[in-house]
Amino acid sequence: RRAIVDRMAATYDNQVHADEQSTGVLELRRALALHASGRVLEVAAGTGRNVDYYDPSRTSELILADASEPMLQVAALKIAKRRALVGGKACVAEIKLVVCDSEALPFADGSFDTVVDSYGLCSYESPGTAVREMIRCCKPGGALLLLERGESWLPPLRLWQLYRRRKDAKRCGSVLNRDMHSLVQDSGLKVVAVTRRRFGTLQLVLLTKTNPLEAYEAKVRNATVDTRLPQQQQHSANSEGGG
């Protein structure tokens, strides 16, 4: 998947801009970034498509992290051009670019006030691990902001997403029907707001870190899987009950 993304870097913005404009994605990007404040980490930052929307008066530092160096090179050029055109005051004063794996972030625990991810969870090999890393890097009381593709609530569209799953993964390295509800539900975070567009295929999720990471890890460790055969499960269920 990383090789696919690297090859797309130079033309990615031109490929997606018109579609994002017509489908309301740019509006959601703006809403996502405007909720960020303090020291901000954006994972899977890509070509920096959210950079223009961060409020310089609320964002003290912005770290753009991505596994694709070619994508971040495009982001660096974009930031330099914007500063030359509109001046430093219209941009976040301190922006750093870091090449790293979102499933193994090289940052200390609780080091960011806000962690942002847009269109990253659909491309991770292990989205649960990536969410865990975002939680780890977020301060207690901090915010986790997600803009993601997800499974539609409309049955015909959900079937179409399932049909396209393998083709999309091969074409652009993305899985477009991740179960965002399960990822968020298991995160140990408090859901503040959820906005769904285009029959649920676009989801903006605002969360706060109210539970410590240890609680999430304990939940994962203590999770049990029933490995019995269906007949055994049914027999057990029929044997339960009061006398």
Q: For the whole prediction, is pTM greater than 0.85?
A: no
Task: With a cut of 70, say whether residue 230 has pLDDT above it.
Answer: no
The answer on pLDDT for 213 being more than 90 is no
Sign of the Cα pseudo-torsion (24, 43, 168, 75, in order): positive
> How many Å apart are CA 13 and CA 4, to the nearest integer?
15
pLDDT at 168 over 70: no
Do residues 95 and 64 touch, judged by C-beta distance below 8 A? Answer: yes
Helix residue spans in 87-154 (DSSP H): 127-137
pLDDT of residue 46: 94
Region for 185 from its dihedrals, namely left if φ exceeds 0, alpha if ψ lies in -120 to 50, beta otherwise: alpha
* Section 63-81 average pLDDT: 96
Confidence of residue 243 (pLDDT cuts 50, 70, 90): very low
Closest Cα partner for 42 from 96, 109, 91, 110? Answer: 96
Q: Which residue has the higher pLDDT, 163 or 197?
A: 197
Hey, what amino acid is at 204? L
| Alpha carbons 76 and 197: distance in angstroms, whole number | 30
Element (H, E) at 157: helix 155-172
Of residues 144, 122, 152, 147, the one with CA closest to residue 28 = 147
**Residue 218: pLDDT above 80?**
no
Mean predicted confidence (pLDDT) in 164-192 = 69
Two tokens at 209? Answer: 């870190």
